[in-house]
Every structure is written in C-alpha cells, then in structure tokens.
Structure 1
Amino acid sequence: MTAGGGDPRPARSRARLMEAATALLRSGGPSAVTIDAVTRHANVARATLYRHFPSSNDLVAAAFMSLIPPAPMPPPDGTLRERLIAVVGGWADAIAEAPTLLTAMAWLSLGPDIAEVPTAGGAVGSLRERIAEQYSAPFDAIFDSPDAPEHLGRVDRTTAFALLIGPLVFGRISTLSEFDYRATAIAAVDGFLAVSARSSGSAGA
C-alpha cells in the first residue's frame, strides 16, 4: 500500500506498459505497438493492459503524447519579432535535441502507418486534435495579441506554422552536418514577417 492507502500496483503496471509502448514506437513506428508486443515487453497480462487502455489505438495515442514535449510558449513581453523568435527558437532546440519529436510529427503528417491504425473509438482523431491544440497554442497566443493585426494582417495559421517550423524540420531530416538551428529559426521568423508585412500592406509602417 502507498502512504495514502492506495494500491501502487496499477500505477506500476501502467508505467511498465507505457515504457514498453514508447520503446516500440521509437524503434518500429506505430505499427510495432501491438497488444501482444507491449504485454510481452512489459511482462503484463492482456487483461491488465485493457484496464488501462481500452484499445491499441488508445495505447498508441498515449505513447505518442508521452514522447512529445510541451510546446514552447512565448514570453508575455517583447516585440512581435522577439516573441516569435522565442517560440521558433524553442522549437529549434526541441527538434535538434529530441528525435522522438520529429518522429511523432513525421508520422502524424506523412507516415503511411496512419492508414494502418484502426480508427475504432476515435483515438487517432483524438490524438491529432490534442497535438494540434498543443502546438497551435504558442502561435495562437502571438497571432491573437493586440499588435499582431497591424503587422501581420490576417494570418493563415497552418501556412504560418509550415513557414516557421518547416525549415527546422528540413534541417533535422537532411544530411547537413552543421545545420544552424538557431540561425535558421531567426531567418524563418524574419522571412515570415517580411512576407506578412507585404501581404498586409504594412511594410515600412
């Protein structure tokens, strides 16, 4: 029993299942995260797994979310450029230092395994929604700020995310040995601001 009188065994079994699922996800992608493989690696009974995760979809979704660090939020103060650089720079650090983040992003956006995962229970859709909400939060905070319309006009946020983060993802998947993530983050922000200013007619304002 724990100090609070609760049974610690469910927490331990869930932790073992999550450790096994994330290891399989890293090494083999979502198709490797099967009920049999996870229970075998975790040495946990199938019935115990189903008490924690109603389906394999829920297990895959939980494993993905555990691998993805929180998105960097912008500072409350500073110019629009400074706040964007803080967010995109935070992304640069995450992409450079955490390969699992890129793995998750690549699978969600491009991976063929998405078609192989059953959609019963809506776990895949829920996963996409949760990640979309998580990663849109820092950009929403900036684009919804009072000074954003003056400098940016109306922003297509999906396109903005691609323009600001896409170069960093390219650097991670490329074979360039000395890719400068920080310099690229700043260049991406400045390019995005220049294009947005021209589109909104605020260039030189």
Structure 2
Amino acid sequence: MSETDFATSSDTDDPRKARSRAHLLRAATTLLRNGGIEAVTIEAVTRISKVARTTLYRHFDSAAHLRATALQELLPPVVRARDSGTLRTRLIDLITRQAAVINDAPIHLTTLAWLATADHADYGAAPAFTSLRERIIEQYRRPFDQVFDTQEARALVKDEDRMLALAQLVGPIVFQRLVGLEAATEADCVRLVDDFLAARAPRE
C-alpha cells in the first residue's frame, strides 16, 4: 500500500501539495513508531513536520484520518496471485510469497496497525478507520478472490466461505509470527495448502 492510497488526485498532481503531505505523513509515522497511536496528534505532527495546521487540514480532515493514513504505511504489502496454473500451484505460490512478506514485516508495528483498525471506543468507529478497515479487507482478499474465481476452486470453496478459507490458509502463518515461533517456511506453506485442499475434497 502506498502513501497515495488515501490521497486525492489534487494532492498528488500538485508537487507542493505532495511534498507537504509527505512531510506530514513522515512525521505521523515517526510518532506512531515511537509513541503509538495516541502520540499522533495534530499539534505533534505540525510541530515535527513544520507544516502549518491549515495546510494539514487541506490533506486530512481530522486526527483520525491522519492516524488511519499513517497506520496504512505500516501494513505489509499485498502480493499478487499468479495468472495461471492449478489451484494447488497458485495457492502455494500465493501463500509462500505472502508468508515472506509477513515474516519480513516489523511485528510490533504491524500488530499495532492491525489492532488499530479494529473497533475502539476512542477512534475505531471514526469513518477514516472504517474506510481503512474496509480497504485492508478488500486489498488482502483480492489475490485470493482471483485464485478462487475458477471452476476448480468453486467446487471446493463457496463464495460465502472465502473469508474462512483465507483465515485457514494465512491465519497459521500470522499466528506463528505473533507468538514468536520460527517463521513459516515454503514447506510449511505447501503443507498448509495440501491440508486445506484435502479437508475440502469431495468425500467418496
């Protein structure tokens, strides 16, 4: 995910606006890394970035919007699915590359970003966080939807089961990372896919 995901076209077309926005986001992500979500305030960001408050509000309509955009920068990038191959081959390739991204991500920052997009009495219900949460779900689902949109996959995974399938395939990799176990290997990813497919295979 890039800095421009929450930007309007006018933000990115004007070099001066793009520079001021970049300064603001750099300050916000620095505060986020060092002090957590509550450290990202309008006052702190304008002080560190040396960008005026009025300019900040041209880019971000609230502190929640600024925090959501900064949090987006901490999330692991989304990988692309292969365009061809069997369901097993495509899933193994996708899961293996997603595991590499998860394993390389700074775990405390990624965890912070994920948790902050959940419902929270102070900021989770803000429209900016709701938008970010929906965007994350959409983007991380997209490569799996591409794999599951085949006749072979539809026989095993119903449309309404796709989020469960994603959790079954990626969940163990994330869990290993969170609890400090060894990073998932390619062999682990192959086993995950084979177990997933075996569990969903038609019974004779």
Between the aligned residues of both structures, percent identity stands at 48
1:9 to 2:16 alignment: yes
| Cα distance in 2 for residues equivalent to 1:106 and 1:71 | 18
| Cα distance in 1 for residues equivalent to 2:145 and 2:115 | 22
Query: What SS does the aligned partner of 1:128 have?
Result: helix
Range moving further from structure 2, 47-56 or 69-78: 69-78
- Which has more radius of gyration? 1
What letter corresponds to residue 68 of structure 2 in structure 1?
A: A
The equivalent residue for 2:191 is 187
Match of 1:117 among 123, 145, 148: 123
Query: What whole-Å deviation, never above 9, does each CA across 1:142-189 have from its counterpart, x for those lacking one?
Result: 111122123x1425122112111111111211233x433333222221
Mapped contact 2:148–2:157 kept (Cα < 8 A): no
Match of 1:135 among 140, 158, 163: 140
The equivalent residue for 1:25 is 32
Query: What SS does the aligned partner of 1:83 have?
Result: helix
Mapped contact 1:102–1:169 kept (Cα < 8 A): no
Length-normalised TM-score, structure 1:
0.81
The equivalent residue for 1:3 is none
| Cα distance in 2 for residues equivalent to 1:30 and 1:153 | 37
| Cα distance in 1 for residues equivalent to 2:28 and 2:121 | 19
Query: 1:108 Cα shift?
Result: 2.9
| Cα distance in 1 for residues equivalent to 2:186 and 2:34 | 28
> Following superposition of structure 1 onto structure 2, how do residues 52-91 of structure 1 map, counting pairs within 5 Å?
52-91=59-98
The equivalent residue for 1:160 is 165
Length-normalised TM-score, structure 2:
0.82
Query: 1:129 Cα shift?
Result: 0.9
Mapped contact 1:75–1:86 kept (Cα < 8 A): yes
Query: 1:54 Cα shift?
Result: 0.9
| Cα distance in 1 for residues equivalent to 2:121 and 2:91 | 34
| Cα distance in 1 for residues equivalent to 2:138 and 2:178 | 24
Gaps of 5+ in 1: 1-5
The root-mean-square deviation of aligned C-alpha atoms, in Å, is 2.3
Query: What SS does the aligned partner of 2:88 have?
Result: helix
What letter corresponds to residue 186 of structure 1 in structure 2?
A: V
What letter corresponds to residue 36 of structure 2 in structure 1?
A: G
The equivalent residue for 2:7 is none
Going from structure 1 to structure 2, the CA distance change for 1:80 and 1:7 (only over 3 Å counts) comes to closer
What letter corresponds to residue 31 of structure 1 in structure 2?
A: E
